[in-house]
Structure 1
Amino acid sequence: MGRVTVRRQVLRVTATGARTRPDSLAVEEPLETRVNGRPLAVTMRTPGSDVELAHGFLLTEGVIAHREDVSIARYCDGVDDEGRNTYNVLDIALAEGVPPPETGVERNFYTTSSCGVCGKAALDAVRLSTRFSPAADEARVSVDTLTRLPVALREAQRVFDATGGLHAAGLFTGDGRLLAAREDVGRHNAVDKVLGWALLDGRVPLTGCVLMVSGRASFELVQKAAMAGVPVLAAVSAPSSLAVDLAEEQGMTLIGFLRGDSMNVYVGRERVTTAHDTDADRAESPATPSSR
């Protein structure tokens, strides 16, 4: 596996002066994913959990639905100028009978670490048919549980402690138990890694689970969560309008600005319980908190 951090000399400037000191940076390198020997996608990512990343990516793109859909996942030979394996090419062999992904003009599978939606020809191209609809999931999660999730996710961000430059995604049970957390320079990569872990562990569809992300809730993150059957997606920052629309369309609960003891529930109010709620209240009264 490649390095996840590197050390660089920087000039540290403060009010008391300037001095040179070492600093840790999060590594960003390309990963090419090949399916049945053919290049499919290149994404800029932080090395580590690459097999999970590939499985999560293929799951959320609708290529696979179960861990048995992949027969082989292995690194291809690739060396740098000093003869070291770069671990930047991953070959996936689909199981017999699993159709290969369609590669056409409607989807450009080059993605950057900053935005997975870039490269989509149109929004319609990512409105994939979900195999595990979260709409019928009767999961309930309490406000008290939700407010504990950002701290639990932050405590799992070990590489962030060293670099300050990584996104994170965490998968929790409905009572707040952390199942898995992954970090990456790309928010969509972090989600793919944690969903890939769930697929390999035989947990998909993720009935009753909460996916917590360290940044904003974009359209693509909602789509990825829906493809894995996640009923509740929570973010520490804002969702986009399309993210809210898609969450509503998929029957998900979408929570934003989850910080301290406050949050905004944008859709799916019925899954969020408070000490004073009744089932009738949740069914009849959608949440309408302020935007901040």
Structure 2
Amino acid sequence: MGRLIRRVKATKVSVADNRRIVREESLAVEEPLEIRLGHESFSVTMRTPGDDFDLVAGFLVSEGLIYEPEQLISLRFCAGEDENGQQTFNVVEAQLRPDVAMPLPSAQRHITTSSACGICGTASIEAVHKSTHFKLTSDVDEVLISASVLASLPELLRREQKLFEKTGGVHAAGLFAPDGELLSLREDVGRHNAVDKVVGAAFRDRQLPLSNTILQVSGRASFELVQKAAMAGVPVLAAVSAPSSLAVELAHNSGVTLVGFSRGATMNIYTHPGRVG
């Protein structure tokens, strides 16, 4: 985990007796990643290094640019050095098939996307509402996962969060089979990045659409996460915290079963409850 963790000194203060202890703490690394389409800069996102090709592939799926592996010709790191002359691996160039429609300038992200928000840099609100190539039916009457299995996923996810265990400062996204088997897990300082890494890994393994899976996330269910699930064909998105009103609206319209406050004993199913038995 060399590139994922940085050791820093911190002063630990005990309020009860005003004791102060200086010690080293482990922090999750956060660095910018510039995404280029060909030689043109498309976006900069703040992320935890690692699985960067998965992150870029998943991001491009979420943006609606690609949906078939053949549309992504190559991914490569571009040259970039820090003040010590070391390669930073912070620029990835994606080469898309010539027939892939490139984004309009108005859809490009002209500001840095923070680790807290995946769509803050979108130039127009219309660009957020994208059409997925993997349509989910909104008339759901076939159970995909039992409530008991669904309730167990947050704990299963937590057990596998190795970076969180060391730093306490990252989000996680896990892709599960209906029987609770963990298929893929990624961690990142940005919850949207963690989802993009999971989706990108599946895309590169030719597994899209993810029509028989459940996406469990460690934080809240935002609009952007519902959008990413829909774009990848994920039918069920579950979060340990609350959804936003716009997330519920999008989940309803896109056919995604959205679950919030999934904390072991109880959960709230906000849309399309027929998939949970």
TM-score (norm 2): 0.94
Bigger mean CA deviation after superposition, 122-131 or 237-246? 122-131
* 2:234 equivalent among 210, 213, 230: 230
The one-letter code matched in structure 1 to 2:172 is A
Say whether the 8 Å CA contact 1:109–1:119 is kept in structure 2: yes
Give CA deviations for 1:247-277 in whole Å, capped at 9, x if unaligned.
000111000000021100001111110xxxx
Q: Counterpart in 2 of 1:125? A: 127
Q: CA deviation at 1:155?
A: 1.1
The answer for the alignment partner of 1:98 in structure 2 is 100
In 2, Cα distance between the equivalents of 1:105 and 1:268?
A: 31
How far did 1:125 drift? 2.1
- The corresponding residue for 2:12 is 12
Partner of 2:84: 82
What letter is aligned with 2:10? V
2:250 pairs with 1:256: no
Aligned to 1:192: 196
| Alpha-carbon contact 1:254-1:265 (below 8 Å) kept | yes
Give the distance between the partners of 1:18 and 1:83, measured in 2 at CA: 37
Secondary structure of the structure 1 residue equivalent to 2:95? strand
Segment drifting more, 88-97 vs 194-203: 88-97
Q: CA deviation at 1:81?
A: 1.5
1:246-285 equivalences in 2 (<5 Å): 246-273=250-277
Percent identity for Structure 1 against Structure 2: 53
Change (3 A) 1:139 1:203: farther
CA distances 1:113-156 after superposition (whole Å, capped 9, x unpaired): 01112123443321101110122675511011101100111111
Q: What is the rounded CA distance, in whole Å, between the counterparts of 2:41 and 2:143 in structure 1?
A: 39
What is the CA–CA distance in structure 2 between the aligned matches of 1:4 and 1:106, rounded to whole Å?
A: 28
Q: State the distance in 1 between where 2:112 and 2:83 align.
A: 25
Taking the aligned partners of 2:205 and 2:160, their CA distance within structure 1 comes to 19
Structure 1 SS opposite 2:226: helix
Deviation (angstroms), 1:100: 2.3
Offset, 1:106? 7.5
2:175 match:
171
Q: Is it true that 1:221 corresponds to 2:194 in the alignment?
A: no
Contiguous gaps of at least 5 residues in structure 1: 274-292
When residues 20 and 233 of structure 1 are mapped into structure 2, their CA distance, relative to the original with a 3 A threshold, is same
**CA distance, structure 2, for counterparts of residue 109 and residue 190 of structure 1:** 20
Asked whether the 8 Å contact 1:74–1:91 carries over to 2, the reply is: yes
User: What is residue 186 of structure 2 aligned with on the other side?
Assistant: 182
Using the TM superposition, name which of 88-97 and 29-38 deviates more: 88-97
Aligned AA (2:38)? N
Aligned counterparts of 2:2 and 2:103: Cα–Cα separation in 1:
27
Contact 1:184–1:190 under 8 Å retained in 2: yes
Normalised TM-score (structure 1): 0.89
CA distance in 2, matches of 1:100, 1:254: 31
Matched residues in 1 for 2:32 and 2:254: separation? 32
What's the counterpart of residue 204 of structure 1?
208
1:151-197 Cα shifts (integer Å, max 9, x gaps): 11111110111110001100011111111000011110111000001
Measured against aligned partners, the alpha-carbon deviations of 1:223-248 in whole angstroms (never above 9, x if no partner) come to: 01000000000000000000000000
Letter aligned with residue 78 of structure 1: G
Secondary structure, counterpart of 1:130 in structure 2: coil
Using the TM superposition, give the Cα deviation of residue 95 of structure 1 relative to its aligned residue in structure 2, in angstroms: 2.3
Report the counterpart of residue 25 of structure 2 in structure 1. 23
Read off the aligned partner of 1:216 and give its amino acid letter. Answer: R
Q: Give me the whole-angstrom Cα distance separating, in 2, the residues matched to 1:32 and 1:200.
A: 20
Structure 1 CA distance for aligned equivalents of residues 184 and 197 of structure 2: 10
Q: Give 1:92 deviation, angstroms.
A: 0.7
Name the SS of the counterpart of 1:152 in structure 2. helix
Q: How many Å separate the matches in 2 of 1:30 and 1:78? A: 12
- The SS at the match of 1:150 is helix
Q: Are the aligned partners of 1:139 and 1:208 in contact in 2 as well (CA < 8 Å)?
A: no
Please say if residues 139 and 174 of structure 1, whose CA atoms lie closer than 8 Å, have aligned partners that are also in contact: no
User: What letter matches 2:258 in structure 1?
Assistant: L
For the aligned residue pairs, the C-alpha RMSD in angstroms reads 1.7
1:58 is displaced (CA, Å) by 0.2
